[in-house]
Amino acid sequence: MPRKAKSKPLLGLDVGSSAVKLVEVRRAKQGLEASAADLRALSPDVVVDGAIVDNLALASSVAQMLKDSRVHNRSVATAVSGNSVIVKQISMPAMTEEELAETIEAEAAQHIPFERSDVHMDYQILDIKDSGAMDILLVAVKKDKVGNYTNALSMAGLSAVVMDHDPLALENCYEYNYEPAPDEIAALLNVGASVTNIVVTKGAVPLFTRDVSVGGNQYTDALQKEFHLSADAAEAVKLGRANGDGVDESRRLPVLQSVTKLIVLEVQKTFDFFRASTNGQRIARMYLSGGAAQTTGLKDTLQEEFGEVVDFLDPFRRIAYPDNGPLAEAIRRERPRLAVAVGLALRSFDDL
């Protein structure tokens, strides 16, 4: 869970189901600069449904990546995802911070569908109204899930100092890079391999988050079924890299579009719910990240369906990096997939 300013920089480590990503950021003369950014693909049986199944495979990929990136820092900020994490915004009446600390436990019990002894819990004051009433962000994570992550990371010689949640790390990445005005409402969409995180933010406050089980894998599966391809061939067709598979553009696009429609539907549902619960506040912009956000047609379709300005989120908008060399190449190649890892690395600088 997010914690305040650390004296030593933390490595941002995003363990996704398709790849593990690493980002290190440090203070420069002006602002921040990236000192490492890398990604290692994971085979599909390493991380399944947000849980690390093959600790050894993950640990060895991470260890190799640290070695290749010449990273010596061993303290990480990482994130758990999926349904063993509960993020809820709740309202509390006016009270002192000490009183809040005492009463939050009882209040939280009503919002968390797990046994209290099974979860780590944390909270953050989002807003204090003129009346003194407070909006609180409550985060609870199942202890076994955290144990699962810390065990795998310790095998790679790392210690997890911060345990965050994908949507909140994404919000943190957006907040630092885009410095939104306090009442600016934006939707952040992180389209990964197995999960799409949807976050609606007002200024720097995550108002609403939702994880949907759709992403890049679904595009690949649809192509595989439609054209009777192997998983690898379907992935290549999806990325537009396949030659000679007999799947030309006119047959590929409708299949991709059928999955894009599912994503659009989930975004629509989320927006409807958001509008209904906030008296119709308008979402002004949408920012896309995650590997599958680059799928042919997705960005344009979202733009057409919602009429909002849709952009790719640039996780390095306000973070400097060298003009060339391996670090620059990794950032340019993997930029959309590094948003969560950047948000995690930025936890070291929560005082900025």
Ligand X SMILES: Nc1ncnc2c1ncn2[C@@H]1O[C@H](COP(=O)(O)OP(=O)(O)OP(=O)(O)O)[C@@H](O)[C@H]1O
Interface residue list for ligand X (CB under 6 A)? 16-19, 192-195, 215-217, 235, 238-239, 290-292, 294-295, 337
Shortest reach from residue 295's CB to ligand X, in Å = 4
Question: Any residues with CB less than 8 A from the CB of 78 and at least 6 apart, and which?
Answer: 12, 13, 14, 15, 149, 153, 160, 162, 163, 164, 344
Kindly tell me which of 80 and 160 has the beta carbon lying closer to ligand X: 80
Shortest reach from residue 273's CB to ligand X, in Å = 22
* DSSP code at position 275: H
Contact between 192 and Mg ion per CB under 5 A: yes
Upper half-sphere CA count for residue 264 (Cβ side, 13 Å): 18
Kindly tell me which of 123 and 316 has the beta carbon lying closer to Mg ion: 316
CA distance 352 to 347: 10
Residue 143 CB: number of other CB atoms within 10 A?
A: 15
**Looking only at Cα atoms, what is the longest distance across the chain?**
68
318-325 contact pairs (CB < 8 A, 24+): 318/31, 318/32, 318/176, 318/177, 318/179, 319/25, 319/31, 319/32, 319/33, 319/34, 319/176, 319/177, 320/28, 320/30, 320/31, 320/32, 320/33, 320/34, 321/33, 321/34, 321/37
Kindly tell me which of 86 and 189 has the beta carbon lying closer to ligand X: 189
Shortest reach from residue 19's CB to ligand X, in Å = 5
Kindly tell me which of 189 and 237 has the beta carbon lying closer to Mg ion: 189
Contact between 50 and Mg ion per CB under 5 A: no
Shortest reach from residue 347's CB to ligand X, in Å = 18
Kindly tell me which of 81 and 177 has the beta carbon lying closer to ligand X: 81
Residue 239 binding: pick among ligand X, Mg ion, none (C-beta 5-8 Å cut-off by kind): ligand X
Shortest reach from residue 4's CB to ligand X, in Å = 26
- Of 171-179, 190-198, 277-285, 306-314, the window that binds Mg ion (rule: CB under 5 A) is 190-198
Helices 216-227 and 249-277, packing angle to 10 deg: 140
Place of tokens 């192997």: 230
Shortest reach from residue 291's CB to Mg ion, in Å = 8
Kindly tell me which of 124 and 303 has the beta carbon lying closer to ligand X: 303
- Of 119-127, 192-200, 294-302, 314-322, the window that binds Mg ion (rule: CB under 5 A) is 192-200
Contact between residue 124 and residue 134 where contact means Cβ atoms under 8 Å apart: no
Interface pick for Mg ion out of 9, 12, 16, 315 (rule CB under 5 A): 16
Helix (H) or strand (E) holding 4: none
Shortest reach from residue 65's CB to Mg ion, in Å = 16
CA distance 284 to 286: 7
Kindly tell me which of 224 and 295 has the beta carbon lying closer to ligand X: 295
Give the binding site for Mg ion (CB under 5 A): 16, 192
